[in-house]
A and B are shown apart, each in its own frame.
Chain A
């Protein structure tokens, strides 16, 4: 023995555990034994290990032979009773498979939708959370006054990053970021790409691990880092490290890079990423005159990383001094009011209100989460109500069972426990089916619609909090009322047969009405969204994109070459050049009026543009064709005139920078980007030839494809080095129409499930009701009641219910749909009662068909059979 460790004691709590659980008469002996063993162990092991062994020994002492007969354990003896409950539940389900199916199917479909909503929520809320330094990294922003309101901008003046790095000791890292459109070439693979110019700290500040290569390699100005997708595009699955890639920044400006890194697959939920990364210094190569010190010019983003995130307030104050520096450099209208810093962790939310920032906002998804949560809850309620209704009505069949249970000694509480057990049994079963439905049906379906992956995993710990919560909610909502209701009947009245219920329970009726209202809302939604996507597909864009093909050109000279080559082509009607293109690119310009500053969308075009694009004039004229004319003329759109409240728009003037412009024409309103975007006030000015970036060609009716082919042919001849970029003007909205089509699909799916659930519930109810009144109907028939009479007797109570439900449901649906459409779409079809009417008709049809099946059964059935039933 090395020490006499009298001061070392075993932990106290295991002893308390023993005293609580072990039989009293054994305690002294066992406590002594444990103490002695502990002392023995102390001689052999460290005190910590001896204590661990002590605890472990304590746990191993909890054996049946040594334990007290506790209350808890006596209750376990009721396992046999629970076994009986399970058996009865199973038998009941077997006896009425239809009801079991309605319950299990309904609950599992609803739970499947809940799982799906959960997966979507997780996907949205996990956005950007994979960044290790998400709480320490901040995006530098600035605030400026635009159109009378202060707005936040995500770009930063070029010198800011360097100044911050220089001036503040608590800034650990700074990363400037800028993007350029370039052509990237490797052997025969030549594509238009976006290259991100970043400081080498980029890969340290943001958690984008590399599959191949080292993050530090970005410090070398000759290295390029690829995303996994880009690597596969150029090199296939092979490791491209050390390969050469030529980046063509512009005409005659190119540089060879060596691949030094390939990123691992990006996490599914991210608000920004990259295709190609090169060192920031390369901007000087890309743009020979690039001035890092120019406060007037911007980089797309500047990120900083702090040692201590709490320093950010201090830093915001410290950045105040840059404001003056900035405002001295720029003109008055670009003056900023303050600099700001936004944490990376919440950038996916805040970027909704930050203009021109590089990250994608997920605000749309937040709205979708709310919709989905509401719909999932509605479905769950539908299914629970089915359960309650069927349980209450079918209780009539189980009255005898309950009576007998009670008379041989079951207390009311035990009957409640029995029914809750049955409910938990069904719900748990539905939960398993529901998770499977969600995982293998709903989620993959939704992912395939939008072509993304939500990264749903079963081993997500939050899911295992969520699922029991669902189980609890569903169990309580659906099980509690029936259990209390059924258990309350007196034995005597049950066995005497004087209890009559199940036929006209007011709650059953209330729930049915509520279900029908829900179904009505969802069906109206499905119809409205479907009709809306048709409406938008047919809606005019305000100009004629169908006959136009376009291409991007490097400069005015290239435009001239194409123009000369194609003008002879017989299928070409007119050719226009422009610096911007509807649906592709515009610039934002501030107009100075005497009394206000006004921000507009600005397109610089040539004289042919209006005719080529088919933009109709409301008043005035377009630009003159003579070179150098109309330099100070603009054409505006109707909305601009309306917003300005110009009674006579032609001849109105305003300034851009210091130049005076005069309005010469007014265009009718048109949608430049998709219908998601509200109309904006827009101006057109004359573009100098050198600024041309687009060529647009109006083709003869029906020869659009030929024209595009001719354009591509000429392109290949004139610029063999640069890949062609262009297409049909009709395609510039990209996946817009596909997307609104998907909205319709999703709503139709929800509506179908809702109608199915409500219909099934109703079917179950009526079936039980009719079965319970089999004798009554048989007697009626024997006494001479005809089909009409029977029909009235069965249908009367339901018809009133339907009428009430639909009378409530129709206006509710109308109001809700109007609200949803107004928030979801900037432009949508006019909402009137027609969709609601169609929904109501569909519902009436489904309801009547459901009732009719049962009426038919009664009418066709033999009264003898009905009278024989017991």
Chain B
């Protein structure tokens, strides 16, 4: 498969969806990523990443419940597909392999 089909930001969003499980809807994903990355994200960037990945078959989604805070609008809960999990695992392996391949000499770089 082509790893390059998944962008860096998309990968982060995908991982967040996987981590959040039942709570994985737009604003929650945004909050989680913001706290982990330590920077502000826009609704637009999260939403377009979600929609793109849904189209590529990394995500499925269904409507959840509505809350007053959302002005009575329903949430859309995202879930990762098995294909996405496979791709994520592959990417992790590729990364791990590459880390292994870095010579010991520059090991101290890793601690930075």
Residues of A in contact with B (beta carbons under 8 Å apart): 26, 28-37, 39-40, 57, 60-66
A35, B73: Cβ atoms closer than 8 Å: yes
Kindly state whether residue B85 has any CB partner on chain A within 8 Å. no
Judging by beta carbons under 8 Å apart, are A57 and B44 in contact? yes
Q: Which of A26, A32, A33, A34 contacts B51 (CB 8 A)?
A: A26
Q: How far is the CA of A30 from the CA of B70 in the complex (A)?
A: 10
Bound: A61/B45 CA distance, A = 7
Residues of A within 8 A of B69 (CB): 35-36, 39
Q: How far is the CA of A31 from the CA of B75 in the complex (A)?
A: 10
* A33/B42 contact (C-beta < 8 A), A28-B74, A66-B48 known: no
Within 8 A of A (CB), among B11-49: 25-27, 30-31, 42-45, 47-48
A738 to B: closest C-beta gap in Å: 67
Q: B44 touching A33 by the CB < 8 A rule?
A: no
State whether A30 touches B74 (Cβ < 8 A). Answer: no
A32 touches B70 (CB 8 A): yes
In the complex, the answer to whether B66 meets A33 with C-beta atoms within 8 Å is: no
Q: CA of A60 to CA of B40 in the docked complex: distance in angstroms?
A: 13
20 contacts between A and B (CB under 8 A): A26-B47, A28-B76, A29-B25, A29-B73, A29-B75, A29-B76, A30-B43, A32-B26, A32-B66, A33-B26, A33-B43, A36-B27, A37-B43, A40-B27, A57-B44, A60-B45, A61-B43, A62-B44, A63-B48, A64-B48
Query: Is B5 an interface residue, CB under 8 A from the partner?
Result: no
Q: Decide yes or no: A35 and B30 within 8 Å by CB, A30-B43, A60-B44, A65-B52 being known contacts.
A: no
Whether B47 pairs with A31 at a CB distance below 8 angstroms is: no
Q: How many whole Å from A381's CB to the nearest CB in chain B? A: 50
A31–B47 Cα gap in the complex (Å)?
11
Docked CA distance A383–B27 (Å): 61
Which 9 pairs show the lowest CB-CB distances between chains A and B?
A: A32-B73, A32-B70, A65-B48, A60-B44, A33-B26, A61-B44, A35-B71, A29-B76, A60-B42
Task: For chain B, give the interface size range.
Answer: 20 to 34
Which residues in B have their C-beta under 8 angstroms from that of A64? Answer: 48
Q: Is the CB of B47 within 8 A of A61?
A: yes
A63 to B47, CA, bound (A): 9
Interface contacts beyond A32-B73, A33-B30, A35-B69: sample of 8 additional A-B pairs, CB < 8 Å, sorted by A: A28-B63, A28-B73, A32-B74, A33-B27, A34-B43, A37-B27, A60-B43, A63-B47
CB <8 Å contact, B43 and A57: yes
Evaluate whether A36 and B70 lie within 8 angstroms (CB atoms) in the complex, with A30-B26, A60-B42 already known: yes
Contact with A along B47-90 (1 / 0, CB 8 A): 11001100000000001001101110111100000000000000
- Chain B residues positioned under 8 Å from A37 (CB to CB): 27, 30, 43
Complex: chain A residue closest to B51, CB-CB: A65
Chain A residues near B26 (CB-CB < 8 A): 29-30, 32-33
The smallest C-beta distance from B37 to any residue of chain A, in angstroms, reads: 17
Q: How far is the CA of A61 from the CA of B27 in the complex (A)?
A: 14
User: Which one, B30, B44, B52, B75, contacts A32 given CB within 8 A?
Assistant: B75
The distance in angstroms between the C-alpha atoms of A741 and B45, with both chains bound, is: 69
CA distance A26 to B26 in the complex (A): 11
CB of A16 to closest CB in B, whole Å: 15
Most buried by A among B47, B48, B51, B66: B47
**C-alpha spacing A830/B51, complex, angstroms:** 84
Identify which of A28, A36, A66 contacts B47 (C-beta below 8 A). Answer: A66
Q: In the bound complex, what is the Cα–Cα distance between A39 and B70 (angstroms)? A: 8
In the bound assembly, the distance between CA atoms of A64 and B44 in angstroms comes to 10
B48 touches A29 (CB 8 A): no
Total A-B Cβ pairs within 8 A: 72
CB neighbours (8 Å) of A61 from chain B are 42-44, 47
Contacts of A66 in B (CB 8 A): 44, 47-48, 51
Q: With the chains together, A31 CA to B71 CA distance in Å? A: 8
Question: In angstroms, how far is the closest chain A Cβ from the Cβ of B73?
Answer: 3
B55 smallest CB distance to A (angstroms): 8
Q: Which residues of A contact B27 (CB under 8 A)?
A: 33, 36-37, 40
Residues of B within 8 A of A60 (CB): 42-45
Smallest beta-carbon distance A315→chain B, Å: 60
In the bound assembly, the distance between CA atoms of A66 and B50 in angstroms comes to 10
Bound-complex Cα distance A63 to B75 (A): 21
Residues on B with C-beta less than 8 A from A32 are 26, 66, 70-71, 73-75
Q: What is the CA–CA distance of A61 and B74 in the complex, to the nearest angstrom?
A: 19
How many Å from the CB of B71 to the closest CB on chain A?
4
A65 to chain B: which residues have CB within 8 Å? 47-48, 51-52
CB-based nearest A residue for B46: A33
Q: Report how far A60 CA is from B47 CA in the complex, Å.
A: 11
Report A-chain residues with C-beta under 8 Å of the C-beta of B63.
Answer: 28-29
Bound together, the chains give a CA A234 to CA B27 distance in angstroms of 74
Q: How far is the CA of A63 from the CA of B45 in the complex (A)?
A: 8
Q: Could you say which residues of chain B place their CB within 8 Å of the CB of A28?
A: 63, 73-74, 76
Closest beta carbon of chain B to A811's beta carbon, Å: 70
Alpha-carbon gap, A36 to B25, bound state (A): 12
Q: A445 to chain B: closest CB distance in Å?
A: 54
Shortest Cβ gap from A181 to chain B (Å): 72
Q: A586 vs B66: C-alpha distance in the bound complex, in angstroms?
A: 95
Q: Which A residue's beta carbon lies closest to that of B61?
A: A29
A637 to B42, CA, bound (A): 89
Q: Which of B30, B52, B74 contacts A29 (CB 8 A)?
A: B74
Rounded to whole angstroms, the CA-CA distance of A75 and B1 in the bound complex is: 35
* Docked complex Cα distance between A64 and B63 (Å): 23
Minimum CB–CB distance from A767 to chain B (whole Å) comes to: 57
Q: How far is the CA of A63 from the CA of B73 in the complex (A)?
A: 22
Question: Which residue in chain B gives the minimum CB-CB distance to A57?
Answer: B43
> Shortest distance in angstroms between B3's beta carbon and chain A's nearest beta carbon?
21
Closest chain A CB from B40 CB (angstroms): 9
Closest to B72 in A: A32
Question: What's the least CB distance linking B105 to chain A, in Å?
Answer: 43
Taken together as a complex, chains A and B put the C-alpha atoms of A64 and B47 apart, in Å, by 11
Q: Is the CB of B47 within 8 A of A33?
A: yes
The interface residues of chain B lying within 8 Å CB-to-CB of A63 are 44-45, 47-48
In the complex, chain A residues whose CB is within 8 Å of the CB of B66: 32
The CA of A57 and the CA of B43, in the complex, are separated in Å by 7
Chain A residues in 8 Å Cβ range of B73: 28-29, 31-32, 35
Nearest residue, chain B, Cβ from A31? B73
Tell me how far the C-beta of B49 lies from the nearest C-beta in chain A, rounded to whole angstroms. 8
Residue of B nearest to A32 (CB): B73
Residues of B within 8 A of A62 (CB): 44
A57 and B74 contacting across the interface, CB-CB below 8 Å: no
* Cα–Cα distance between A32 and B42 once the two chains are bound (Å): 14
Cα-based distance from A141 to B67 in the complex (angstroms): 76
Q: In the complex, what's the smallest C-beta–C-beta distance from A737 to chain B, in angstroms?
A: 72
In the complex, are the beta carbons of A35 and B43 less than 8 A apart? no
Q: How far is the CA of A66 from the CA of B54 in the complex (A)?
A: 12
Q: Which residues of A contact B75 (CB under 8 A)?
A: 29, 32
Chain A residues positioned under 8 Å from B48 (CB to CB): 63-66
Give complex CA distance A39, B71 in Å: 10
Which residues in B have their C-beta under 8 angstroms from that of A29?
Answer: 25-26, 63, 73-76
Chain A residues with CB under 8 A of B76: 28-29
Looking across the interface, which residue of chain A has its beta carbon closest to that of B55?
Answer: A65
Please, how many angstroms separate the alpha-carbon atoms of A837 and B51 in the complex? 79
Distance to closest chain A CB from B87 (angstroms): 19
Please report the C-alpha to C-alpha distance between residue A150 and residue B71 in the assembled complex, in whole angstroms.
Answer: 76
Q: In the complex, what distance in Å separates the CA atom of A654 from the CA atom of B101?
A: 120
Task: Give Cα A278 to B42, complex, Å.
Answer: 65
A31–B45 alpha-carbon span in the complex (Å): 15
**B31: A residues at CB distance < 8 A:** 40
Q: How distant is B58 from chain A, measured CB to nearest CB, in Å?
A: 14
Question: What are the residues of chain B within 8 A of A57 when measuring CB–CB?
Answer: 42-44
Q: Could you tell me the distance in whole angstroms from the C-beta of B54 to the nearest C-beta in chain A?
A: 10
Shortest Cβ distance from A14 into chain B, in angstroms? 12
Residue among B25, B73, B76 facing the most chain A CB atoms (10 A cut-off): B73
Report the separation of the CA atoms of residues A31 and B26 in the bound assembly, to the nearest whole angstrom: 11
Chain B residue at minimal CB-CB distance from A39: B69
